[in-house]
Amino acid sequence: MSRNVRRGIFFDLDGTLADSVGVMRRVFDNFAQSCGREASDAEFDAANGPPMVIFVAALKRNWELPQPLDELQRRYSALIDAAYLDVMPTNGAVATLESAFRNGWSVGLVTSNTAVRSRAWLARTRLAQFVDIVVGSEDVCLGKPEPEPYRIALARSGCARELSIAVEDSLHGTRSATAAGLRTFALHAADSSQIEWPEGVRLIESLEELIPELSRQRARRVAGLR
């Protein structure tokens, strides 16, 4: 196999690298309250995957909101921007990214959040130095669970699909990654045990469980194997 073939590891942001699920739920609750609605768990779960513009458009339709769509989207985006100032990395995110960088993986962020907000978060948390590419909601036509975000990540990074992996925390995200042909890990919480994950998805409880997988690349290099 050619020595120029690149391995990539592609991370979701919210709930995977960023400890933001609780923050995003508060944003959703505040937005619903401002619209005179009571937020439900099912409606919030539907937000985990599609780009915000699509999600808000669905809320406008389902809640029969009279406000223009662009106004609702600006309001929701402003709430996220304010809340994201307090979002920190998940446990193990720093060590896992450092391991990927040290062992020669190309690292990408594939998120339904915006690329602008994602890059700002990476800079604030000092993780930008480990990330090569960001694919955000404004970069795709069809967001998760469609495979387009991960196909774009593979194309931009120049990584081989068969040698690359994806790390997600949601059903929409794992469907997107597996549909793109990537070996996929799901960072799952205790309350996600009833989720019917796509076939082949490997469940992990911590990002640090990936470190041995990332370290094997360096071992193969030392041995002269690719």
Q: Where are the domains of the chain?
A: 8-19+87-222, 21-84
Q: Does 218 have pLDDT greater than 70?
A: no
Q: What is the pLDDT of residue 53?
A: 83
Distance (Å) of CA 13 to CA 34, 111, 161? 26, 6, 20
How far is the C-alpha of 212 from the C-alpha of 209, rounded, in Å?
Answer: 7
Q: Does 95 have pLDDT greater than 70?
A: yes
- pLDDT-based confidence at 124, cuts 50/70/90? very high
Task: Tell me which CATH code domain 8-19+87-222 carries.
Answer: 3.40.50.1000
Q: Does 145 have pLDDT greater than 90?
A: yes
Q: Does 148 have pLDDT greater than 90?
A: yes
Q: SS3 for 25-62, per residue? A: HHHHHHHHHHCCCCCCHHHHHCCCCCCHHHHHHHHHHH
Q: Does 190 have pLDDT greater than 60?
A: no
Tell me the pLDDT tens digit for each residue of 13-46: 999 999 998 888 899 999 999 999 888 888 887 7
How far is the C-alpha of 41 from the C-alpha of 56, rounded, in Å?
Answer: 16
Beta strand pairing call for 133-135 and 165-168 = unpaired
Average pLDDT over residues 150-157: 97
pTM: 0.85
Q: What is the pLDDT of residue 4?
A: 56
Tell me the pLDDT tens digit for each residue of 69-79: 999 999 999 99
How far is the C-alpha of 42 from the C-alpha of 212, rounded, in Å?
Answer: 36
- For the chain, how big is the Rg over CA atoms in Å? 18
* Cβ neighbours of residue 216 closer than 8 Å, sequence gap 6 or more: none
Tell me the pLDDT tens digit for each residue of 54-63: 889 989 998 9
